[in-house]
Amino acid sequence: AVNMSAPNMEERKACWGARDELWECLERNNEDAAKCQHLRLSFESKCPQQWIKYFDRRRDYLKYKKKLENEGYSPPETTGKS
């Protein structure tokens, strides 16, 4: 169990390292979470719960942003129809 006090420098480094490895793995494997499961478990064991939620949201946001940059923004077809 991760204690709820703020992680010290060492713990933060371990958490960030695990996160970076996981994210790199996902990128290499075209977001195939199954291939990165071991890194996911490592990430979850090294980071506080709130951080995991935050980083997951952050990654989704960054992926979304990248997608928009790559594909350009197109509004959904339903706009303007009621």
State yes or no: pLDDT of 77 exceeds 90: no
Structural domain boundaries, residue 38: 9-59
Residue 37 counted as domain residue: yes
3-state SS class at 4:
coil
Residue 72 counted as domain residue: no
For residue range 6-47, what is the model confidence (pLDDT) as tens digits?
Answer: 789 999 999 999 999 999 999 999 999 999 999 999 999 999
Residue 51 confidence class, pLDDT cut points 50, 70, 90? very high
Residue 42 counted as domain residue: yes
Residue 2 counted as domain residue: no
State yes or no: pLDDT of 3 exceeds 60: no
Number of domains into which the chain is organized: 1
pTM for the whole thing? 0.75
Spatial separation of the C-alpha atoms in residues 62 and 45, rounded to whole Å: 23
Spatial separation of the C-alpha atoms in residues 49 and 37, rounded to whole Å: 17
Contacts of 22 (CB under 8 A, 6+ apart): 36, 39, 40, 42, 43
* Whole-number pLDDT of residue 61: 95
Angle of the 37-46 helix axis to the 9-28 helix axis, nearest 10: 160
